[in-house]
Amino acid sequence: MSKRWSIDDIDWSRFDRSKVSSRLLEIVRAAAMVEYRSGDYVTYLCNVFTDDEEFKAAARVWGEEEIQHGLALAQWARMADPTFDFEASYREFTEGFHLELERNESIRGSRTGELLARCMVEIGTSSFYSAIRDASEEPVLREICTQIARDEFAHYGLFRRHMERYQAREGKGMGYRLRTALMRAIETQDDELSYAFHAGNSLPGPYDRKQANSAYAARALPLYQPGHVERGIFMALKALGFEREWSWQRGLATLAYRLLRVRARMADDSTPPDTQRHAA
C-alpha cells in the first residue's frame, strides 16, 4: 500500500492570492498542525494492536497520509501568508498539548471501540475538508481539500473494515458502540483543535480554551452545508451497523444540521486572530 497522491501532484502555480479568505486561512493553520501530528497516533495504534500485523501496516500508511495532509495545508498557508512560521507554531502546539501515547490498551475499552472512534474522526475530517473545498474560492486550496477529503473517506472505509472484523470477534453491544461513537463525536470540541487554533494563529496571551474553541467554531461551523452533515450522519449510522436506510435517518440529519447552526450562532466571534496576529 502506498499514498494515493503526493504534494508534487498539486498544481501550486494556480495559487490566486486575491481569492484567499483570511477566515479559511485561520482554520487551515490549525488543521495543518493537527494533521501533521497524526503520525504520533500511529505509535498509539501500533501499541494497541500490537499483534495485528495487517492492521499495523495499514495504520503506518494511514499515518503517512495524515502527515502529508499537514504538510500540504502548511505549504498552502505559507503561500497565503509568508509570515506563517509552521515549525514555531507546531512546537508551541506539541509543547502545550500533550498526548498520552504509551498505552497497551485502547482508551475506548476495546479494539472495536477504538476503531469505531477512528471511524468517527474520519467522518469528521471527510466532511470538514469537503466543506472547506466547497467554501473556498482559491483553486489550490480546493484542489488540496479535494485530495484530502478523498483520503479521509478512504480512511473511514479502512477503519470500518477492521472494526467489523473485531466486532465479529468481540460482539460489542449497540449501547456500548453508541456511547463510544457519541463520546468521540463530542470530543471533537476538545482541546486539541482549540490549542492548534491558538498556536497556529498566535492568539494573544496564554491559551484560553473557551475563547480559542469559540473562535474556531465561529469560523468552521458556518462552512457546513446540509449535504455534508447528512452524509456524515449516514456514515456514522453505517459504522454503527445500520445497513439499510431508515426513514428517520433524514430527520436525524436535519436535526443534526439545525443543532450545528445553533452552535455556529452561539460561537463568539469577537477574537479576530488575523488582526491580532498582524498587529503584533
Which residues of this protein are in contact with Fe ion, per CB under 5 A? 35, 66, 69, 122, 152, 155
Among residues 189, 218, 187, 185, the alpha carbon closest in space to that of 201 is found at 218
Q: Cα–Cα distance between 275 and 280 in angstroms, integer?
A: 9
CB of 151 to Fe ion, least distance (A): 6
9 burial type by CB count under 10 A (0-12 exposed, 13-18 middle, 19+ buried): exposed
Output 72 or 140, the one with its CB closest to Fe ion: 72
Output 152 or 211, the one with its CB closest to Fe ion: 152
Cα Rg of the chain (Å, integer): 19
CB of 125 to Fe ion, least distance (A): 5
List, in sequence order, the alpha helices (H) in the chain. Answer: 22-48, 53-80, 86-96, 111-135, 139-170, 174-187, 191-200, 209-220, 226-239, 247-266, 273-279
Among residues 266, 246, 100, the alpha carbon closest in space to that of 189 is found at 266
Output 69 or 198, the one with its CB closest to Fe ion: 69
Output 81 or 122, the one with its CB closest to Fe ion: 122
CB of 88 to Fe ion, least distance (A): 22
CB 194 within 8 A of CB 216: yes
Q: 104: how many CB neighbours lie within 10 A of its CB?
A: 7
Output 78 or 150, the one with its CB closest to Fe ion: 150
CB of 202 to Fe ion, least distance (A): 23
CB of 270 to Fe ion, least distance (A): 30
